[in-house]
């Protein structure tokens, strides 16, 4: 049986490099095309990305060419910035190829996207709807699909934390769900920016995009869909940690009825019993970013504060793995009918 031919467009960004790291160890496929937008001529991938210098089994890195991409690939990952990625993803998909887009371009309706991203949406009325690739929550909807919109990193951690509540009557219907989210600097991408310089970020910690982070409507859209509450809102605050990778989400949810930790733990265990990648921690154990670095995993902890009638939820992921490349490969596995864990790590690399 011929192995599927896989391409990565945006192969030099942080998510693209992580994709190639995972795909190069995947036993069921062949990487046949690597491309970058800002490249004038072809060169060996190990010359461009030194971590691969001694790995000679990859094709050359090329300037992106649509016809060559279509000729060499059966499935293509797009890991380009929002505003560019979605347009190319749709072109490749319209040509009959399977596509996974890691940008935000295909996650939201046209009007919502343009309002929150400040960019023109690539979607038209004729475009095929991309399936939202939250693979640990809706594996069946992703299986055998041809166009997947990979979730955002903050959205992944927040939704895996909150979605099991949508199937209960524990939360006050008119309440705003508070989501406090902290990320390492790779979540901002590879483009040089003054606030990401070592001198600026080291020994520093601060909020950014307060009240206007583009993952807000993405999280709300999925929560509203699952809860059947069209007015459900979150208050998302994003903050930048002085570390390269990793996300910690802390959510604060007002409860309308009491529940024991044991019963709540059972709800979450049942929600994720079909995936090996989400771990619900025992009572009194709290998640740590270093436990998930390099792994396609999410660790979730729960605390019911009976004094304040608040539920506290804590979750950690690696923003480049579960928050980007790892989840994208998990989606690919589901699209191609393979076990979702194929080629992916359950073990973090810490310390």
* High-pLDDT (> 90) share of the chain, %: 86
pLDDT score, position 122: 94
Q: What is the pTM of this model?
A: 0.96
What is the pLDDT averaged over residues 245-261? 95
User: In this structure, is residue 176 part of a structural domain?
Assistant: yes
Q: Which residue has the higher pLDDT, 124 or 127?
A: 124
Give the total number of structural domains in the chain: 2
Do 101 and 235 belong together in one domain?
no
Q: Do 201 and 96 belong together in one domain?
A: no
How many CA atoms, within 13 angstroms, populate the side-chain half-sphere of residue 73? 28
Q: Give the end of a domain, one of 70, 96, 129.
A: 129
Residue at which a domain ends, from 95, 112, 129:
129
Q: Are residues 179 and 302 in the same domain?
A: yes
Reported as a pLDDT band with limits 50, 70 and 90, residue 226 is very high
Same domain as 159, residue 100: no
Tell me the per-residue pLDDT of 53-95, one tens digit each, with 9 for 90 and over: 988 789 999 999 999 999 999 999 999 999 999 999 999 999 9
Kindly state the average pLDDT of the residues 316-330.
Answer: 98
With respect to residue 325, please indicate whether it lies within any of the assigned structural domains. no
pLDDT on residue 57: 87
What is the spatial distance between Cα 9 and Cα 12, in angstroms, rounded to a whole number? 9
Does residue 235 fall inside a structural domain?
Answer: yes
DSSP string, 144-179: T-SEEEPPPHHHHHHHHHHGGGGGSS-B-TTPEEEE
Distances 348 to 277, 297, 327, 345 between C-alpha atoms, Å: 12, 8, 15, 8
pLDDT score of 196: 79
- Does residue 351 form part of some domain? no
Per cent of the chain over pLDDT 70 is 98
Question: Is 280 part of any domain?
Answer: yes
Looking at the structure, tell me whether residues 168 and 125 fall in a common domain: no
Helix (H, G, I), strand (E, B) or coil at 299: strand
The answer to whether 285 and 302 have CB atoms below 8 angstroms apart is no
**pLDDT at residue 188 is higher than 80:** no
Q: Are residues 183 and 123 in the same domain?
A: no
Only one residue has tokens 């979450």, namely: 268
Q: What is the CATH number of the domain that holds 160?
A: 3.30.360.10
For 300, phi and psi rounded to 5 degrees?
-125, 135
Please confirm, yes or no, whether 153 is among the known catalytic residues.
yes
CA dihedral 19, 213, 159, 11 (to 10 degrees): -10
Report if residue 138 sits inside a domain.
no
Do 160 and 302 reside in the same domain of the chain? Answer: yes
Average pLDDT over the chain, rounded to an integer = 94
Catalytic residue among 73, 153, 166, 298: 153
DSSP 43: B
Could you tell me if 211 and 121 lie in one domain? no
**277 and 314 belong to one structural domain:** yes
Same-domain check for residues 229 and 293 = yes
- Say yes or no to pLDDT of 126 above 70: no
Give a yes or no: residue 237 inside a domain: yes
Residue-range definition of the domain harbouring residue 23: 5-129
Shared-domain flag, residues 193 and 279: yes
194 with 298, same domain: the answer is yes
Work out the pLDDT band at 128, boundaries 50, 70, 90. Answer: low
Show Cβ contacts of residue 271 under 8 Å, excluding neighbours closer than 6 positions. Answer: 163, 164, 167
Residue 109: pLDDT band (50, 70, 90) is very high
> How far, in Å, CA of 3 to CA of 106, rounded?
28
Indicate whether 317 pLDDT > 80: yes
* Phi–psi pair at 280, nearest 5 degrees: -95, 120
Residue 201 pLDDT: 84
CATH number at residue 38: 3.40.50.720
CA 284 to mean position of chain CA atoms: 27
Residue 335 placed within a domain: no
């Amino acid at each position: 049986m011929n192995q599927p031919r896989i391409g990565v467009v945006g192969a030099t960004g942080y998510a693209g490099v992580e994709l190639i790291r995972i795909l190069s160890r995947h036993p069921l496929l062949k990487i046949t095309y690597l491309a970058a937008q800002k490249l004038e001529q072809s060169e060996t991938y190990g010359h461009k990305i030194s971590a691969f210098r001694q790995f000679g089994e990859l094709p050359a890195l090329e300037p992106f060419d649509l016809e060559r991409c279509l000729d060499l690939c059966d499935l293509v990952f797009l890991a380009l910035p929002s505003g560019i990625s979605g347009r190319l993803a749709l072109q490749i998909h319209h040509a009959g190829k399977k596509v996974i887009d890691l940008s935000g371009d295909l996650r939201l309706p046209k009007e919502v996207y343009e309002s929150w991203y400040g960019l023109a949406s690539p979607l038209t009325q004729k475009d095929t709807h991309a399936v939202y690739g939250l693979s640990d929550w809706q594996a069946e909807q992703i299986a055998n699909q041809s166009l997947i919109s990979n979730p955002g990193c903050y959205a992944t951690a927040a939704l895996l934390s909150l979605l099991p509540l949508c199937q209960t009557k524990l939360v006050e219907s008119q309440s705003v769900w508070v989501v406090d989210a902290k990320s390492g600097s790779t979540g901002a991408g590879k483009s040089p920016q003054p606030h990401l310089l070592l001198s600026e970020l080291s020994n520093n910690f601060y909020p950014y995009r307060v009240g206007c982070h583009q993952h807000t409507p993405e999280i709300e859209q999925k929560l509203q869909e699952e809860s059947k509450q069209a007015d459900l809102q979150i208050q998302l605050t994003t903050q930048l940690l002085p570390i390269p990778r990793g996300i910690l989400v802390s959510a604060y949810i007002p409860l309308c009825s009491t529940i024991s930790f044991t019963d709540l733990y059972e709800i979450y265990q049942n929600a994720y019993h079909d995936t090996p990648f989400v771990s619900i921690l025992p009572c009194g154990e709290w998640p740590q970013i270093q436990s998930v670095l390099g792994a396609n995993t999410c660790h979730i902890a729960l605390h019911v504060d009976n004094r304040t009638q608040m539920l506290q939820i804590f979750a950690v992921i690696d923003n480049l793995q579960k928050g980007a490349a790892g989840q994208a490969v998990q989606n690919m596995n589901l699209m191609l009918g393979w076990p979702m864990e194929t080629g992916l790590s359950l073990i973090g690399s810490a310390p």
